[in-house]
Amino acid sequence: MSAMETAGIEPGFRDPVFDSQHTFRCILDAFGYVGRAQVLSRANTRIGPLDPATIAVCLTLTDFETPIWLDPVADSKPVRDFLAFHCGVTVTSAEASSFAIVGNPASMPRLDQFALGTDLEPQCSTTLVIQVPAFDGGPLVRLRGPGIQSDISLAIPSLPSWFWEDWQANHELYPIGVDVLFTCGSSVLALPRSVSVEV
């Protein structure tokens, strides 16, 4: 293994054990109460173009077992160094990734370009971490499914025009498919594959 230049790498969680536990519980709540944003109060590091929530999700969930894909915006030396140092992740292609970090949703690949899992192993799919500028102000969609009492509306801006159409196609593959975790500032909002959308 070649020596890594560690000078200039920002610190990760102040307290790795408790901060990652707290962050995970917020992510779990996000998956449990779909469409409701959760604030990651322990997220405090911004790396290059990536918000504290995006970084906190990486610190909490990724390690040497989870190859990640970085979109052209996220793929920079500070981000690569930070994730290699703190998480020990390797960077890979979209279809081989466990997690995909999307810094600029407008130019992201179509959802079926990522790992979707198989009938026997639906868990072997990519979790997309999509960083958006806000959780409201975009086109209104209505979500239904597990984690939602009856239905909930969502208006995420800056997504590509095909996103919700692709999402419905992704949902129709259920139980195969990708899961999405939207991040913004220090908040997260989950969109598991079990959720259907009405535009």
Partner 1 sequence: MTANQEGAARGGRRSAYNFAYLDEQSKRMIRRCILKAMAVPGFQVPFGSREMPLAYGWGTGGIQLTASIIGPDDRLKVIDQGADDATNAVSIRRFFKKVTGVETTEQTSAATIIQTRHRVPETALEERQILIYQVPSPEPLKRLEPREAETRKMHAYGEYGLMSVQLYEDISRFGHIATTNSYPVMTNERYLMSPSPIPKFDNPKLGKNPAIQLFGAGREKRIYAVPPYTQVRSLDFDDHPFKVQRWTQSCSLCGATESYLDEILMDDKGQRMFVCSDTDYCATRKESQQASSNDGTSGSPAHPSREAEKGPNS
| Contacts of residue 94, Cβ cutoff 8 Å, sequence gap at least 6 | 69, 100, 109, 113, 114, 115, 126
* Total residues at interface with partner 1 (CB under 8 A): 40
CA distance 89 to 63: 5
Indicate whether 24 belongs to the interface with partner 1 (CB under 8 A): yes
Task: Return the residue of 2, 10, 11, 15 that touches partner 1, per CB under 8 A.
Answer: 15
Residue 183 touching partner 1 (CB under 8 A): no
Candidates 9, 31, 76, 138; binder of partner 1 (CB under 8 A) is: 31
Q: What would the x/- binding string for partner 1 be over residues 42 to 81, using CB under 8 A?
A: ------------------xx-x-xx---------------
For 99-160, strand residue ranges (E) read 99-102, 127-131, 141-144, 152-154
Residue 92 within binding range of partner 1, rule CB under 8 A: no
Residue 126 CA neighbour count, 13 Å, CB half: 26
Cβ 63 to partner 1, closest distance in Å? Answer: 6
Token pair for 115: 């790992």
Q: By CB under 8 A, is residue 158 in contact with partner 1?
A: no
Nearer to partner 1, 75 or 179 (CB): 179
Question: Pick from 109, 177, 199: which is nearest to 191 by CA?
Answer: 177
- The smaller minimum CB distance to partner 1, of residues 6 and 149, is found at 149
The residue (of 73 and 82) whose beta carbon lies closer to partner 1 is: 82
Q: Shortest distance, CB of residue 24 to partner 1, whole angstroms? A: 5
Which strand ranges, in their side-by-side order, compose the sheet holding 179-184? 38-39, 187-191, 179-184, 127-131, 99-102, 68-70
Instruction: CB nearer to partner 1: give 126 or 131.
Output: 126
Q: Which of 138, 137, 116, 144 is nearest to 128 (CA)?
A: 116
